[in-house]
A and B are shown apart, each in its own frame.
Chain A
Amino acid sequence: MRKIWSIGLIRALIFQILGSAIGAGLLGLIRLAMGLSWKTEPALVVGGFIGAIFFMIGIGGFSGWWKMAMGEDVPEAHDVTEPEGIRRYFGFSLDHKVIGIQYGILSMVLLSVGGSLALIFRTELASSGLQILDFVQFNTLVGLHGMVLIASILMGVAAMGNYVVPLMIGAEDMAFPRLNAFSFWIAVPATVLLLSAMLFGGFETGWTAYPPLSVRGPMGIQLFFAGVYIVGWSSILGALNLIVTTLKMRVKGMKLFVMPIFAWAVLATSIISLTATQLIGLSFQLVMFERLLGMGFFTPSNGGNPILFQHLFWFYSHPAVYIFVLPGLGIISELLPVFVRKPLFGYKWVAMSSMGIALTGYLVWGHHMFTSGIEEYLRVPFMYSTLLVAVPTGVKFFSWVATLWQGKLRFPVPMLFILGAIIVFLIGGLTGPPSGTVSTDLHLHDTYYIVGHFHATMFGGFIFPIFAAIYYWYPKITGRKMNDTLGKIHFYLMTPAFLVTSFGQMQIGMLGMRRRIADYDPTLGFDTSHLIITIAGYLIGVSVLIFFINLIISAKRGEVATGNVWQSRSPEWSILPSPSPVHNYKGMPFEVVGEPYDYGLEGSNYVLPVNQTGQAD
């Protein structure tokens, strides 16, 4: 019993259950004292938030700050001794590498949950008529599939940012280690809340939660809101930490324009998450209060306007797409030179294109509302700003092509996924302008064409790159390589399967198949296409299963790889041994002396160890 209690995660989950009950009970008592009867919905909301706070108390997320507030001395993060072994990963660790892996595990868990939800409703869609689900169940699954995978992607982005960025820039840890651990752990109770929406009636709105439907539907939406709200805070605080780390913790000699390109991508991403995330939190908060107190934000009969919600919501949710893909595109630019043995073409332009995408991303949200009844005069400006995004994105593509040109290509598993990412993201990118142009979007809006386009951008911009990143940095984490054959099976199964789903979705979308519909008219002739898409979806599932098996067995049985496996110039490979030591570069100081991507240039160095003699005294 004691042993179980000492595992942070289990203790915290018990705390969360207790906290939820206490919160809900207390609210009931207060209402009773005010002469009001029991109501489940407010109890659910209050219990949900109190439960999340209790979770953080249980994991120990407040203890350091509490001591600081009480005026006690709190040790610096690197002086804290942490338990050895696997238990460290289930508790409140302050080490950015541990937190990075925790994020990674949570991301993969959510990836499999979100993917499985999709397989359930894809099975329903495989033929016309209703077979296994009713309408609310179908809608709940569709909405949760979207939001669970958004959470998964945010966690995956944070995983890469946390594990890799401090190592790349030679920092001893993140700028705020306690805040970092807090940002990760707060996402866990949030996930629990998000998924428990299924247990309380589900919700009908899809992941966008548009009012007035979200104001009226079942109360599962409240748990969905609470979960997203807290995940949002996790993302905001994580982004804050990454920005400060990148700007203030770089090693000697590492100017901004010689830092690894991935650090630029994470910086750009973090600027968006830091600011825009507030707006999805706010929009969901307003619906939450509208439901609880009858406030008139979005119901026209009470003075509100549902279009306001869409403005606030898309102000985040469009840039969110760049939060998801910028790190992935950064991975492509980061890994490509390593496997091509050539300098990255136009480093400065690539760095600036990340910033450019981030900034133009703020100006385009209206393209989701062409058919919503927004002001007529806003449509064309939003169309042009949307098409403008193609410029910095194009810079990246030209850089990749020019980097590949006349390179000495090698094709290990990470490189396969990089090339897959480029091709799939190209498909996603090229199918974008028709949805961003007013005249064509009026036809395509809310059809499966959008679904196909969006999944191509997500796979090309995140799924393929993060698999590349995992295959690439796995030896850095474990000291072993992942199995090559299984990796290749994963790639050659997932890529065609994905292309079939994506093109299939676009095809039936253009013929008029609507999104978020559990059933369709058999006379439309979509049955065969839907069946093929569903089968391909299952094949993606199988390929990811093979990846998980590989991930687990390679930790014990993989080929030992402690050195610079990929002959990279980046400091985490050229200076550090694998697996990376607890205190990063402690005892191995280095400085930046050259350009990061001068592969193939005789005698050039990016980083060099600092002579130890000066430090020995």
Chain B
Amino acid sequence: MSSITSSAQYQKKLAINRLGLWLFFASDAFMFGGLLVARFYLLGNRRLELEQTLGLIVTVVLLVSSFFMNRAEVMISKGNQKGFQRSIIVTIVLGILFLAGVVGVEWQTAHFQVNEGAQGAVFYMMTGMHAFHVLTGIIFLLIVYRNGLKGKYTAEKHYAVEASANYWHFIDLVWIIYYPALYLMGLI
């Protein structure tokens, strides 16, 4: 059998891959949900003592990165290779900025240590698990960027781009829930 797959076979594979990825998100969401439960179980209506400006900045950075991720996907689906590569680079840079903001600044300047009470435990674990996902997302995007330079993706066939974009949006969505839970809700 040749390894050239017909269009119908490709479509079937695409449907299978998509379902698999969505199931993965469903599974991962339970982990993030568990951490969210831990936050409210341990801290209840207590807000964490965090740097508000910094929190707002990193949130904006991540949201904007999702916008560029979306642009990258739209561009490759129109066959615009240059625009696709440019948008992906912007996404990666913004992702790295987000990581630098959370791990590089927020972690170092927080008013509490990792072993100081439920506040330290909840904050470092929630942001840590989220940052770990951002890091893997950046790695996927780097791979996609490299293969994009090689011209691996076409307007018709670019599932890797779609998958990493969905993953990126998923991480973004998690942060949209985590940000208020950590920074905004409750009283000091």
Q: Which A residues contact B (CB, under 8 angstroms)?
A: 69, 71, 73, 75-76, 78-79, 175-176, 179, 236, 240-241, 243-244, 247-249, 274-279, 281-283, 286, 289-290, 293-297, 302-305, 308, 311-312, 315
Within 8 Å CB of A304, what residues of B?
Answer: 42, 118, 121
Q: Which B residues contact A (CB, under 8 angstroms)?
A: 1, 3, 5, 12, 15-16, 19-20, 23-24, 26-28, 30-31, 34-35, 37-38, 41-42, 114-121, 124-125, 143, 146-147, 150, 152
Contact A289 B125 (CB under 8 A): yes
Picked from B41, B114, B150, the residue with its CB within 8 Å of the CB of A308 is B41
Given A79-B1, A312-B37, A276 and B30 contact (CB-CB distance below 8 Å): yes
Given A244-B20, A312-B37, A295 and B27 contact (CB-CB distance below 8 Å): no
Contact B23 A282 (CB under 8 A): no
Given A275-B26, A293-B115, A303 and B20 contact (CB-CB distance below 8 Å): no
Q: Which residue of A lies closest to B31 (CB)?
A: A278
Within 8 Å CB of A75, what residues of B?
Answer: 3
Picked from A76, A240, A248, the residue with its CB within 8 Å of the CB of B24 is A240
Q: In the complex, A69 Cα to B3 Cα: how many Å? A: 18
Contact A312 B115 (CB under 8 A): no
Could you write out 11 A-B pairs with CB less than 8 Å apart?
A: A79-B1, A236-B27, A278-B34, A295-B120, A296-B118, A296-B121, A297-B121, A302-B117, A308-B37, A311-B41, A315-B34
Within 8 Å CB of B35, what residues of A?
Answer: 282
Q: In the complex, A176 Cα to B18 Cα: how many Å? A: 12
Within 8 Å CB of A249, what residues of B?
Answer: 16
Contact B121 A303 (CB under 8 A): yes
Within 8 Å CB of B121, what residues of A?
Answer: 286, 289-290, 295-297, 302-304
Within 8 Å CB of A278, what residues of B?
Answer: 27-28, 30-31, 34
Contact A297 B118 (CB under 8 A): yes
Give the interface SS of chain B, mostly helix, strand, loop or mixed: helix
Q: In the complex, A78 Cα to B35 Cα: how many Å? A: 40
Within 8 Å CB of B152, what residues of A?
Answer: 71
Within 8 Å CB of A293, what residues of B?
Answer: 114-115
Q: In the complex, A294 Cα to B118 Cα: how many Å? A: 11
Contact B31 A71 (CB under 8 A): no
Q: How far is the CB of A595 from chain B (nearest CB, A)?
A: 27
Q: How far is the CB of A70 from chain B (nearest CB, A)?
A: 8
Contact B31 A282 (CB under 8 A): yes
Q: In the complex, A277 Cα to B29 Cα: how many Å? A: 12
- Tell me the total A-B contact number using a CB cutoff of 8 A: 109
Contact A248 B15 (CB under 8 A): yes
Contact A303 B31 (CB under 8 A): no
Within 8 Å CB of A315, what residues of B?
Answer: 34
Contact A175 B16 (CB under 8 A): yes
Contact A295 B124 (CB under 8 A): yes
Contact A296 B120 (CB under 8 A): yes
Q: In the complex, A78 Cα to B9 Cα: how many Å? A: 14
Q: In the complex, A276 Cα to B12 Cα: how many Å? A: 29
Q: How far is the CB of A531 from chain B (nearest CB, A)?
A: 44
Q: In the complex, A75 Cα to B28 Cα: how many Å? A: 29
**10 closest Cβ pairs, A-B complex:** A294-B115, A303-B117, A303-B118, A295-B121, A278-B30, A278-B31, A71-B147, A282-B34, A296-B121, A69-B143
Contact B120 A274 (CB under 8 A): no
Q: In the complex, A448 Cα to B119 Cα: how many Å? A: 39
Picked from B3, B24, B125, the residue with its CB within 8 Å of the CB of A295 is B125
Contact B23 A240 (CB under 8 A): yes
Q: Which residue of A lies closest to B30 (CB)?
A: A278
Q: Which residue of B lies closest to A290 (CB)?
A: B121
Residue among A244, A293, A295, A305 with the highest chain B CB neighbour number at 10 A: A295
Contact A295 B37 (CB under 8 A): no
Given A278-B30, A286-B38, A296-B117, A244 and B1 contact (CB-CB distance below 8 Å): no
Within 8 Å CB of B147, what residues of A?
Answer: 69, 71
Q: Which residue of B lies closest to A176 (CB)?
A: B20
Within 8 Å CB of B30, what residues of A?
Answer: 275-276, 278-279
Residue among A179, A243, A244 with the highest chain B CB neighbour number at 10 A: A244
Q: How far is the CB of A281 from chain B (nearest CB, A)?
A: 7
Q: Which residue of A lies closest to B15 (CB)?
A: A248
Q: Which residue of B lies closest to A273 (CB)?
A: B27
Within 8 Å CB of B26, what residues of A?
Answer: 274-275
Within 8 Å CB of B12, what residues of A?
Answer: 248
Q: In the complex, A240 Cα to B118 Cα: how many Å? A: 34
Q: How far is the CB of B84 from chain A (nearest CB, A)?
A: 15
Given A279-B30, A305-B42, A312-B37, A296 and B115 contact (CB-CB distance below 8 Å): yes
Q: In the complex, A244 Cα to B13 Cα: how many Å? A: 11
Q: Which residue of B lies closest to A270 (CB)?
A: B23
Contact A303 B27 (CB under 8 A): no
Q: How far is the CB of A586 from chain B (nearest CB, A)?
A: 10
Contact A295 B15 (CB under 8 A): no
Contact A79 B34 (CB under 8 A): no
Q: In the complex, A71 Cα to B145 Cα: how many Å? A: 11
